[in-house]
Structure 1
């Protein structure tokens, strides 16, 4: 089994880098065990300093900062290599995303890999712990709506809607299993209806040549 270390990147944390968890042990960019280049350390510091604190999550400055952060995280993953699992916080959608050391995808792979074949079949499906989209309808190939690996040509509003739907499923399941302090959650019926609307919207934005299925809500 391949062993790896994990590191979390978040610009508004007391330390932008931590190991052992998102609130784990802080580590400085110049730590010898990371071996980061001076250029990357400078880029990381500038990105952290530019975080537009206090603005709404969906504001354009936050979105621009997130896009810049993904580039920084991608470079961080590239310098650390496949022995590290890098996660970057998405402030727009309040979630953590894996960062690949080789490509722009939200995944982690040990070996070098090629982009997926050019399939145009996508399924919208909500399941706890998974992204809301599936490539070729394969449950093992779930992906986020703005994952550059798949590069779906859709707008921010639909991306936000799919993330929000997925978060609603998480809250729904947390409420079902009695997680302490669980947030108010939508009903399953509400989630099913919302998902159907999102699938229709996705088909409309992708246009002819794409096949969009709807797998409903798994819980």
Structure 2
């Protein structure tokens, strides 16, 4: 985790610090080694949120686009008392989950039901070949307003297939200034449609609480 509470305030990990988990209130220790990104870990070594994944610089870079008070927010279901930590939850009620590791369709569905107003941002560079396969498969555009391109998938990975059944917006981040929304994908035909949007525009809309805009092809 990026943050723990120290003397009642959200603080990033620093050597020798001790803190309290913002989700379960258990003791946290700062992990500040030379290899992994500095982070907080539960002293018991058992994370209170089974949905949590080890953070990368990619996670941190995304979180840093948003105010500290929006990052790592404990979200509780009032009916079940189930509790999870949202990567970012804006003051407008939108949850952003930054997903690097593989995730099962069942967990995708569970998170979407739990958070409701959710958008996924998926790390497209987890596999070193996925970006190349994505660019190779792009053709079009097939629609001008909103702008959409056909995508054919030639790679072995299941990057698009894993997110084909999502009920919320899914954006693929290949490390460029453009995000690609996965509009639809047919797993049998291995074809679908994606729409581009500048990362800057996406972040601005999230910060301001606006509906996420779409790109158009000017005549």
> Normalising by structure 2, what TM-score?
0.28
The structure, 1 or 2, with the larger RCO (C-alpha pairs under 8 Å, 6+ apart) is: 1
Higher strand share: 2
